[in-house]
């Protein structure tokens, strides 16, 4: 798997260097369009996904690719997540809103799934050049250095609750609990960066409502392989092919319970 880890990392860096970064802060008016209310897609998203998908299929010829933009064009592509074989999940630009607005953070993400279980994850920050990777059972790494999270909750406790898509009643409930958090951080609108910030210690938790696989499968494996916890709001596991909303990621189990009690109990 080590060769594959390196090869995918190089592929994401190629996409960053040849498609994503040359387009950053150089998008013309026609290069950005709204694909859903409040959500944009750029020509760079589509070009990067094509490049990455072709490269991933070349690395593993028996694999299939589920990409964010491929699903946007044909929702039936999402059914491939239930296939028993090898499936790649790709988010060509996570944080497209930031990217289109000309600022970071944004990320390029991929995950490899075998029989419905994630076995590899890659999150590249194109602006910083930082690459976070994880392999199921073998740990999480940031720029080649293994990261291991503490098993004890930190003081002060800091993190973010992404409220944009929350139902009104749940949003009010969570906001009433936020004073129990020592430092409430602003959401970054880039799930990949939020997950990397957990494994590097920049924050202790993040709560999401929407749980699309390209946004969360890479980061969930990264956090879990570093020793963290990623669970549904009811405490159940996150299954990439299961429908549902709400996800809480934390640096460890005590932190998960503390945040869950503060915001959801």
The region, left, alpha or beta by phi > 0 then psi within -120 to 50, assigned to residue 116 is left
Query: What does the longest C-alpha to C-alpha distance in the chain come to?
Result: 51
Check pLDDT > 80 for residue 36. yes
Handedness of CA 123, 66, 187, 99 (dihedral sign): positive
70 pLDDT more than 90 = yes
Dist CA 38 CA 165 (whole Å) = 11
Angle at Cα 151 formed by Cα 149 and Cα 153, nearest 5°? 100
**Binding site: what residues are annotated?**
68, 91, 93-94, 215
Q: What is the pLDDT of residue 153?
A: 80
Q: pLDDT-based confidence at 154, cuts 50/70/90?
A: confident
Mapped onto helix, strand or coil, the DSSP state of residue 162 is coil
Q: How far apart are CA 136 and CA 250, in angstroms?
A: 18
Topology (CATH) of 2-147: Fructose-1,6-Bisphosphatase; Chain A, domain 1 (3.30.540)
Confidence band for 181, pLDDT divided at 50, 70 and 90:
very high
Q: What is the pLDDT of residue 242?
A: 85
Where in the chain are the domains?
2-147, 158-264
| Binding-site residue positions for Mg(2+) | 68, 91, 93-94, 215
Domain boundaries 158-264, corresponding CATH code: 3.40.190.80
């Amino acid at each position: 798997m080590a060769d594959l880890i390196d090869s995918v990392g190089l592929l994401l860096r190629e996409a960053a260097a040849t498609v994503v970064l040359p387009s950053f802060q150089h998008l013309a008016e026609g290069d950005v369009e709204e694909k859903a209310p409040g959500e944009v897609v750029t020509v760079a998203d589509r070009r990067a996904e094509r490049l990455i998908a072709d490269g991933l299929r070349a690395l593993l010829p028996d694999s299939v690719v589920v990409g964010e933009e491929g699903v946007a064009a044909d929702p039936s592509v999402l059914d491939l997540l239930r296939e028993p074989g090898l499936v790649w999940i790709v988010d060509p630009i996570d944080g497209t809103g930031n990217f289109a607005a000309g600022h970071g953070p944004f990320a390029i993400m991929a995950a490899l799934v075998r029989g419905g279980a994630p076995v590899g994850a890659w999150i590249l920050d194109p602006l910083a050049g930082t690459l976070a990777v994880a392999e199921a059972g073998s740990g999480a790494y940031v720029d080649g250095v293994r990261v291991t999270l503490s098993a004890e909750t930190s003081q002060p406790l800091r993190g973010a609750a992404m409220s944009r898509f929350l139902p009104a009643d749940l949003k009010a409930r969570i906001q009433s609990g936020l004073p129990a958090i020592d430092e409430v951080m602003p959401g970054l609108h880039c799930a990949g960066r939020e997950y990397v910030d957990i494994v590097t210690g920049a924050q202790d938790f993040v709560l999401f409502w929407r749980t699309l696989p390209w946004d969360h499968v890479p980061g969930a494996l990264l956090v879990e392989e570093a020793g963290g916890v990623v669970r549904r709001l009811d405490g159940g596991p996150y299954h990439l092919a299961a429908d549902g909303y709400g996800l809480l990621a934390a640096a460890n189990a005590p932190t998960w319970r503390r945040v869950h009690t503060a915001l959801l109990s």
